[in-house]
Amino acid sequence: MKKIVYIDMDDVLCDFTGAYKKARLNNPKMQFPQAEFGFFTNLKAIGGAVEAVNSLINSERYDAYILTAPSIKNPLCYTEKRIWVEQQFGLEFVNKLIISPNKSLLKGDFLIDDNIQGKGQEGFEGEVLQFGSKTYPTWATVLAYLGNQP
């Protein structure tokens, strides 16, 4: 039986913080750049993220899903995140996109997220791998860990 892996989007698959900072630098009066049309659609992929997720998609051991929280500042984020997933992984993988404000509602074995609390991560029943942390600073370290799981 395949293990279920959920993967967060913002600052795990795509560079939310970099785009946010750049938008604020370009327009300091813009308080919520993520509320702008196209913000989520135009996010750049984090180095190694697309390749890593593709390896999980094609894995015999894992059933991969994207689990992302919505931005209440941008009601269009639901559509924009869906478009981003299709652009990066194709239409078929859009069926594996879950948008939920509470990540503890889902059952699974692993959650790869840049935060360990705030959107239900602290209540997730499986193991939370904090992307960008000292233990899992890159996708290579995440994949190495998952590769060593029984």
Using CA atoms, how far apart are residues 147 and 150, in angstroms rounded to an integer? 8
Whether 114 is a known active-site residue: answer no
Candidates 10, 15, 113, 114; catalytic one = 10
Candidates 8, 15, 113, 114; catalytic one = 8
Whether 11 is a known active-site residue: answer no
| Cβ(44)–Cβ(19) below 8 Å | yes
HSE (CB half, 13 Å, CA atoms) of 93? 22
Q: Which residues contact 78 (CB under 8 A, 6 or more apart)?
A: 70, 99
Q: Known catalytic residues? A: 8, 10
